[in-house]
Structure 1
Amino acid sequence: MELLATLKSRKITPEQLFMLSVLVVNGGNYLYNLILGRILGPAQFADAAVLITFLLVLSFAAMTFQLVTAKFSVLFENEIFKSFISRIYKNALLTGAIMGMLIVVFSKQLQVVFNTSSSTMFMVFGFGVPLYFLMSVNRGVFQGKKAFKKLSITYQSEMLSRLIITLGLIFLFKIQSSVVISIGILLSFVFGLIPFKKPEIKSNKIFKLSKENSKAIKSFFVITAFYELTQIIINNSDILLVKHYFESYDAGLYASLALIGRIVYFIAWMFVMLLLPTVIQLKKEGKETAPVLFKYVLYIAGIAVAIILGCVFFPRTAIIILFGKSYLAMAPLLWKYALATSMFAISNIFAYYYLSLDKYVPVVISGLFGVLQMGLVVFFHDSLEQVVHMQILAMFLLLIIQLIFFKLNHKKIV
């Protein structure tokens, strides 16, 4: 009774609520992917994996707007903030419309490149792209203002709607089609706008940013866009290249491997969302920021070690429980892929930390190693095992370089 009373007396902080929400969202997204993998089988799941990868690519591209919005929502106030938000919404909508149009126009070419069974799935996906960019700016405001309850709701709304709509269409109408999956993704973007506060979009003549503020926004936007591009390359190029170079069955097997092995990365993303506004606020107040970095690196390293050990000792069990016996061929590679992803997740924490401090060398480093990873896979893809080995090599070198950079820039630790 005393324990129960103690738990009731403790209030959950907004940060803790958001972390719990992210765990639920990641769990829901994993359930979505796992059910699709079991229903479709390796060959058909390869098409679904392309759409899911496109969704991840879109999320990284839109994350540029979210991070820029989050940072300057902390720094700007009153009329300057209104001017900034007005401009960022316009630019996000324009960017989303252009990207969506390109996907629709080149849908048939995308079908050929990625060996998919349909081009319609790309067209449906393309129509949802502008909505995703609006959703990301909306989330950026919540993130910057530390409105974690609202931020949690928008992620929950997107995840739950995609899960319910997609699986509902599959089970009710007995249609196992990539088009159904793309429809579910499109509609989830609509629900992901909840809660949405209509922005006060005014003419630039009414709310005009100073040259200094405009320059700061452009500089941070460019470097963030560059870094998110490296995220796209490192996180998704392997799946798309495997889909291009290998048969659909092998590509489906690899997609299941990637999904399980990336658990640590998606958990790390939760800490990145908390890290950025916290570091910016501490810097604004003139306080030490390194302890926050140390705390999150320790969290991620501990989680990574636990997941890798689980993949070492129970690979078959993990694959059977999550995807089924059809995917067992990937068991020997599971811990290796988890190792590569873990090293990238830890490197990612360092890069986002320095991005928050307006130090961009780690971002450039990540970009170079992202290109290196893609190049290694392009030239060395005789087998799926070789593809994984190339990623381990690239991510090991990336982590070492990031640690060296940190050592050189923090000779004195407070």
Structure 2
Amino acid sequence: MITIANNLRKKITPEQLFMISVLAVNGGNYLYNLILGRLLGPAQFADAAVLITFLLVLSFIAMTFQLVTAKFSVLFENQLFKSFISKIYKNALAVGIAMGAIIICFAAQLQHLFNTSTSSMFVIFGCGVPLYFLMSVNRGVFQGKKAFKALSVTYQAEMLSRLLITLGLLFLFNIQSSVVIAIGILISFGFGLLPFKFKTIAFNTKTLIDVSHAKQVKRFFILTAFYELTQIIINNSDILLVKHYFESYEAGLYASLALIGRVVYFIAWMFVMLLLPTVVQLKKEGKETASILFKYVGYIAIISFAIVLACLSFPETIINLLFGNSYITMAPLLWKYAIATSMFAISNIFAYYYLSLDRYVPVIISGVFGMLQMVLVVFYHESLEQVVHMQIFAMILLLIIQVVFFKLDQVKSNRKV
């Protein structure tokens, strides 16, 4: 048995090990959401969905720091790398403290806006925001250096701690469910920092980054921040708008639909984590990068087709198994929502590819269609079905335009050669 285990360890590459770990983490996060959905019921799950959506929004904002750190961990070396890391940790902590303070100060207004049962959940959540930003920079270092074992550990620690602590508190104490979920999220941020080298944060050290490198970092940071903003809009605006326009019961039903339909996006995210450092490294070495894009687009397309087919063929079975009979009315919309998220997941690979190459147009395209999706839902929300149809329309258009841009870009590059 030991010999077999050793042979398997040698055959599995670090990238494959990370992919297996990400699948396990996504599975754990899904289990977390599914258990909450079954325990709380549609009305209370609507509150939980708001917190979970806030967590996703936070993850996209913090992803800006993670991707910037990952890219320049590949490009920078020695003292330049140390100076860069020290500076980005300080900036991330400052942004985290500012954002956390804003959430805490406007907790009452957030409660009113999203029709939640308490404002305390936003206060608790806000306290954890600075930790999340530090955690993201830490993950960016692991991602850029391809330290996939350590990167896997930090994701697993966050997921497992949130799952076990939240469920433990729900079963042991008679505390409002939304507050328990917020506490679980807060504590999980601390576990997600592991492993962490505190020596890398040197607040008193002067940075040694020259003007040209500083401009390079700033430009990529702004570009990435803009793109992550589009991710927030496309990925989360529908749940928040539904929570605003519909009753809690319907919002809870929609949250279950979104959770199931987005499985393809969370799988695509795994490939994005591998795509960025690989493309940056190939570009640094002067090698072609399009083959990497084709590889990951192919993976996502196959997975998307399988998920949409399953949602079309067995919608009631899937919803009943995952959330229970209380959510069964969402069955007819499941395959439609899966189409919208599939289109977005594939177009997302194109956008991150060009982001890795410091190209701006695909990012701007995503931003335009993110706003279009939100505007369509604002004006057309007579039913949950109409909300889903608006997303399908916007995401199909987004994918078509991203593919057309890629084709035109390839023709232009071939002419230069």
The one-letter code sitting in structure 2 at the alignment partner of 1:17 is: L
How big is each residue's C-alpha offset from its partner over 1:143-196, in whole Å with a ceiling of 9 and x where there is no partner? 000000000000000000000000000111244510000000000000000000
Structure 1 residue 203, shift from structure 2 partner: 5.8
Partner residue in 2 for 1:46: 46
Structure 1 residue 201, shift from structure 2 partner: 3.5
Partner residue in 2 for 1:25: 25
Partner residue in 1 for 2:288: 288
Partner residue in 1 for 2:14: 14
How big is each residue's C-alpha offset from its partner over 1:288-319, in whole Å with a ceiling of 9 and x where there is no partner? 10000000000000000000000000000000
Partner residue in 2 for 1:110: 110
How many residue pairs match? The answer is 413
How big is each residue's C-alpha offset from its partner over 1:198-228, in whole Å with a ceiling of 9 and x where there is no partner? 1434468733210000000000000100000
Change in Cα spacing, 1:242 to 1:79, as seen in structure 2 (3 Å) is: same
Partner residue in 2 for 1:218: 218
Change in Cα spacing, 1:5 to 1:185, as seen in structure 2 (3 Å) is: closer
Query: What is the rounded CA distance, in whole Å, between the counterparts of 2:358 and 2:399 in structure 1?
Result: 20
Q: TM-score, normalised on structure 1?
A: 0.97
How big is each residue's C-alpha offset from its partner over 1:40-99, in whole Å with a ceiling of 9 and x where there is no partner? 000000000000000000000000000000000000001100110011000000000000
Partner residue in 1 for 2:72: 72
Structure 1 residue 116, shift from structure 2 partner: 0.2
Change in Cα spacing, 1:406 to 1:327, as seen in structure 2 (3 Å) is: same
Structure 1 residue 4, shift from structure 2 partner: 6.1
The one-letter code sitting in structure 1 at the alignment partner of 2:329 is: A
How big is each residue's C-alpha offset from its partner over 1:254-289, in whole Å with a ceiling of 9 and x where there is no partner? 000000000000000000000000000000000110
8 Å CA contact retained: 1:86, 1:199: no
Structure 1 residue 11, shift from structure 2 partner: 2.4
Structure 1 residue 6, shift from structure 2 partner: 10
How big is each residue's C-alpha offset from its partner over 1:120-143, in whole Å with a ceiling of 9 and x where there is no partner? 000000000000000000000000
Change in Cα spacing, 1:219 to 1:264, as seen in structure 2 (3 Å) is: same
Structure 1 residue 18, shift from structure 2 partner: 0.4
Change in Cα spacing, 1:9 to 1:221, as seen in structure 2 (3 Å) is: closer
Identity %: 76
Partner residue in 2 for 1:274: 274
The question of 1:329 aligning with 2:329 is answered yes
Partner residue in 2 for 1:342: 342
Q: CA RMSD in A?
A: 1.7
Partner residue in 2 for 1:191: 191
8 Å CA contact retained: 2:87, 2:207: no
Structure 2 unaligned spans of 5+: none
Write the mapping of 1:95-174 to structure 2, written as runs, cut at 5 A: 95-174=95-174
8 Å CA contact retained: 1:40, 1:176: no
Partner residue in 1 for 2:60: 60
The one-letter code sitting in structure 2 at the alignment partner of 1:275 is: L
Secondary structure at the counterpart of residue 410 of structure 1: helix
Secondary structure at the counterpart of residue 363 of structure 1: helix
Partner residue in 2 for 1:231: 231
Change in Cα spacing, 1:209 to 1:118, as seen in structure 2 (3 Å) is: same
Change in Cα spacing, 1:114 to 1:203, as seen in structure 2 (3 Å) is: closer
Partner residue in 1 for 2:352: 352
Q: TM-score, normalised on structure 2?
A: 0.97
Partner residue in 2 for 1:364: 364
Write the mapping of 1:367-386 to structure 2, written as runs, cut at 5 A: 367-386=367-386
8 Å CA contact retained: 1:100, 1:126: yes
How big is each residue's C-alpha offset from its partner over 1:361-414, in whole Å with a ceiling of 9 and x where there is no partner? 000000000000000000000000000000000001000000000000112789
8 Å CA contact retained: 1:79, 1:207: no
8 Å CA contact retained: 1:49, 1:255: yes
Query: What is the rounded CA distance, in whole Å, between the counterparts of 1:169 and 1:303 in structure 2?
Result: 36
How big is each residue's C-alpha offset from its partner over 1:6-63, in whole Å with a ceiling of 9 and x where there is no partner? 9647421110110000000000000000000000000000000000000000000000
Query: What is the rounded CA distance, in whole Å, between the counterparts of 1:176 and 1:319 in structure 2?
Result: 26
The one-letter code sitting in structure 2 at the alignment partner of 1:210 is: D
Change in Cα spacing, 1:8 to 1:113, as seen in structure 2 (3 Å) is: closer
Query: What is the rounded CA distance, in whole Å, between the counterparts of 2:5 and 2:41 in structure 1?
Result: 48
Query: What is the rounded CA distance, in whole Å, between the counterparts of 1:323 and 1:88 in structure 2?
Result: 41
Query: What is the rounded CA distance, in whole Å, between the counterparts of 1:312 and 1:170 in structure 2?
Result: 34
The question of 1:253 aligning with 2:253 is answered yes
